[in-house]
Chains A and B, each alone.
Chain A
Amino acid sequence: MSVVDRVMGLGLRAINRVAGAPLLDRLHLRRPAEQALYHGARIGFRSAAAAARGFKATQKLVQPARPARAGGDGLFDLTPSDEQQMLQDAARRFAADELRPAAAAADTACAAEAALLAGAAELGLGVMNIPEALGGAGNERSAVTNVLVAEALAHGDMGLALACLAPSAVSNALVLWGDESQQAQYLPAFVAEHAPVAALAIHEPQVLFDPFALRTTATRVDGGYVLSGVKSLVPRARAAELFVVAAQLEGQPALFIVESSNAGLGIEAEPAMGLRAAETARLHLTNVKLPASARLGADDTAYRDCIALSRIAWSALAVGTAQAALDYLIPYVNERIAFGEPISHRQAVAFAIADISIELEGLRLTTWRAASRAERGATFVREAALARRLAADKGARIGSEAVQLLGGHGFVKEHPVERWYRDLRAAGFVEGVVLV
């Protein structure tokens, strides 16, 4: 079955189910007083990690299953394939019908509705990148498809997009760098009903954070490793059953598979400026003992690639949210009257719109190029760094301009632009969390 058939089938089911739920369930607004209490109780307290299912190998692999490199005829081309277009359309519909309407409430609640996340899972986000040999639907590597989907979801809402995409960062990491036993042990769960919540934890709570000089340490001990340190901005950490954690091992950064049932894990809520729907948290690791088999991707390039692929994913999220801002601004500045005519008749306003469109398009193309190089097996670290630079500079600028053009109305929560302002700031610097 092609990925499209599979995903379309799943997607339709998901839409039926989510749409069938009563409106109250979908938007579920709790009373503000309850909210305040709830947060007050969570912040500052550490809770135990979620109980993990027993991840058991349900099949044996002789060698790891990896997606094939993308091919092509070597021509310059900006046209998504038919399959990509269909996935993009499905993701756009989901973003418009489900994510955008739920975004404000999820931002306030610092949590995404379970039904919504289930809908995303059924959209096929989880199985897209997992090879058929492991029950998934993706036989060819497609970082570009992942970029297009991330863009489309972030057009709905970046925080919710992050919540939806976070588990697939872990499954994607296992597909790309897991050995045969790691794949056999963990990946079947991701294609099953009730796929696990999972998170890729790279970032740390310190200034001048450098993913190549981590403070979280891994020490080699008899029969395995011991990890200690703190990870920052980990999405849905409380519910996560599985983490991929970056730690410095003998002077070099490395990735480790950590199950939530490991002793020594603690979760501390870390609500931030934005991305609140993703329920970000700190993950504390205190002498967490791991077996030797927990090391993921021992070759030199895995970690570098992981960091670069995550930066591309963040850039794609920035593209989606910046596009949402532009799409929101155009009717607004055309309808808003000042001094007897639409404010869009003034160059100061119109040129700001033109600038947003230019920088957004530049960011989009730069992101696409980095992803397209990655899926073909070409070098892409430089291109990912350039996309990240633009996401940081232009993304934040677009968020700021969007609020500015609405004036005071941009500053209040009646409009979504203040949320985009907060979310866009993250996309230019956070490491890890998402992968393409």
Chain B
Amino acid sequence: MIHLETPKKFRGLVDQAQQVAREIFRPNSRRYDRAEHEYPKELDMLGALLDGMNASGVGGAGAAGVRRDSTQDDGNRNGTNLSTALGTMELCWGDVGFLLSMPRQGLGNAAIASVASEEQLARFAGRWAAMAITEPHCGSDSAAIRTTAKLDGDHYVLNGDKIFVTAGDRAELVVVWATLDRNVGRAAIKSFVVEKGTPGFDLVRLEHKLGIRASDTAQFALRDCRVPKENLLGEPTINVEKGFAGVMQTFDNTRPLVAAMAVGLARACIEETQRLLGAAGIAVDYDRPAAVQPAAAAELLKLEADYEAAWLLTLQAAWMADNRKPNSLQASQAKAKAGRACVDIALKCVELCGSLGYGESELLEKWARDAKILDIFEGTQQIQLLIIARRLLGKTSAELK
């Protein structure tokens, strides 16, 4: 039965997340945007709250929500992928940088939730995990990573450099992608959970960024860093048939979450612009054709329509994950649409609000800066288009480069 609304059973959770966004995120947004690299202490308290919400079984805003439940009946299911997407939207309506700094809710946690064994899941429970994929010479082409992992007794020895590690400074664990054999290609790439403080694992520096400044972005050096071999996530053997599937599986689950971040930010921009334009006597009339409305109202209607499409594509991808339907295509569609829509929306809202939108007295200019990363990380716009096109056209990455 087609019904595309926030499910009743998650309304409480959405309200809670909205309150957190309104009462804690928004009032601190500007402060930590200015004080880059300063830890937002307010978030510690929230981490505990989220832990409680996740433990309650409702899920909601946690990275662990992306684990695919294997026990379920055939009926329609609204589970943690959906509730996590909904919670993420609300929190990012407040502040994307804060969401990325939520203790124990890193992308590394999502990776662990997606591919870890039950034993690993228990061992890493309650720890904050960041994700380290990108290297100085390669970003989207993650199959080209040079960080190596060599088995030596009970340990893997890791060597290489990692950049753009979100929450890398604050997290307790970092999930590091490394190759067991650079000659084999994708199939040899595995992810390893590296504990902070492991000898040979050093923080090199923190980035200064366009936006999401409340979230730290770290660079690490791995020099003969010895990691226990039971910290490898997934299968330790190189399976050329299965290739990249293990590590890439995470993305089918995390892309809808990044799309959800973009959707939350886009809604914040639209609502703020509606408020400011409303004070100037401009409101969208949904009955009348756009052509007979003021240009600013017609423009807002357009933004809202793109927002609606992004919102629904995101919920679709999350819902499919909950219902164990393959969702690579839909996850990339959601990420591509939400990523570009949130940038377009944020920039247009700044323009519509003029110097009020551009100045630091309001948050619109900050959101427009924050927005850009959402069309880049977890797969750029262009990477999403490649994934979508290859699937639709039945092309390999060798054919459609």
Chain A positions 196-214 with a Cβ under 8 Å from a chain B Cβ: 208-213
CB distance from A297 to the nearest CB of B (A): 16
Is B392 in contact with chain A by the CB < 8 A criterion?
yes
Instruction: For B337, list chain A residues within 8 Å (CB).
Output: 358-359, 362
**CA gap between A84 and B394 in the complex, in Å:** 30
Give bound CA distance, A358 to B392, whole Å.
Answer: 11
Mask: chain B, 1-18; 1 = CB below 8 Å from A; 0 = not: 111111111000000000
Q: B36-44, B108-116, B170-178, B304-312: which one contacts chain A?
A: B304-312
**B31 CB-CB contact with A under 8 Å:** no
Residues of B with C-beta under 8 A to A70: 1
What chain B residues lie within 8 Å of A212 (beta carbons)?
287-288
Bound Cα distance A371, B290 (Å) = 21
Please provide the chain B residues from 263 to 306 with a CB less than 8 Å away from any CB of chain A in the complex: 284, 286-292, 301-302, 304-306
Do A354 and B309 contact each other (CB < 8 Å), given the known contacts A78-B2, A208-B292, A372-B2?
Answer: no
In the assembled complex, the CB of A289 is this many whole angstroms from the nearest CB of chain B, namely 30
Q: Which one of A81, A308, A372, A389 lies within 8 Å of B305 (CB-CB)?
A: A389
In the bound complex, residues from chain B placing their C-beta under 8 Å from that of A363 are 309
Given the known inter-chain contacts A72-B1, A361-B333, please indicate yes or no for A389 contacting B301, CB distance below 8 A. Answer: yes
| Residue among A74, A76, A344, A362 with most chain B CB within 10 A | A76
- Tell me the interface secondary structure of chain B in the complex: helix
- Return B325 CB to nearest CB of chain A, in Å: 9
Residue interface mask A363-405, B partner, CB < 8 A = 1: 1011011011100100001111111011011000000000000
A75 touches B2 (CB 8 A): no
Of the listed stretches A3-11, A155-163, A187-195, A345-353, name the one at the interface; the rest are far from the partner chain: A345-353
- Verify A77–B3 contact, CB threshold 8 A: yes
Task: Tell whether A411 is near chain B: CB-to-CB under 8 Å.
Answer: no
Q: Does A333 contact B (CB under 8 A)?
A: yes
The size class of the interface chain B forms with chain A is 35 or more
Q: Which secondary structure characterizes the binding site on chain A?
A: helix
A357–B394 Cα distance when bound, in Å, is 14
Q: How far is the CA of A357 from the CA of B387 in the complex (A)?
A: 12
Q: How far is the CB of A79 from chain B (nearest CB, A)?
A: 6
| B303-325 contacts to A (CB < 8 Å) | 304-306, 308-310, 312-313, 315-316, 319-320
Task: Name the one of A75, A209, A354, A371 contacting B78, with C-beta atoms under 8 angstroms.
Answer: A75
Contact digits for B362-388, partner A, Cβ 8 Å, 1 yes 0 no: 000000000000000000001011101
Contact between A382 and B2 (Cβ–Cβ < 8 Å)?
Answer: no
Residue B389 CB within 8 A of the other chain:
yes
Select from chain B the residue with minimum beta-carbon distance to A352: B389
Chain B: CB-nearest residue to A382: B286
Considering only residues 309-340 of chain A, those with a C-beta below 8 Å from chain B are 326, 330, 333-334
B336 within 8 A of A: yes
Q: A74-B3, A76-B315, A358-B337 are in contact. Are A210 and B399 (CB under 8 A)?
A: no
Nearest-neighbour CB distance to chain A for B227, whole angstroms, equals 38
Q: Could you pull out 14 A-B pairs where Cβ atoms are within 8 angstroms? A: A74-B8, A75-B7, A79-B2, A350-B389, A350-B393, A350-B395, A353-B393, A358-B336, A362-B308, A365-B4, A365-B312, A369-B312, A385-B305, A386-B308
Write the residues of chain B forming the contact surface with A, with a CB cutoff of 8 angstroms.
1-9, 76, 78, 82, 284, 286-292, 301-302, 304-306, 308-310, 312-313, 315-316, 319-320, 330, 333, 336-337, 382, 384-386, 388-390, 392-395, 399-401
List the 3 closest A-B pairs by CB distance, nearest first: A362-B309, A365-B312, A350-B389
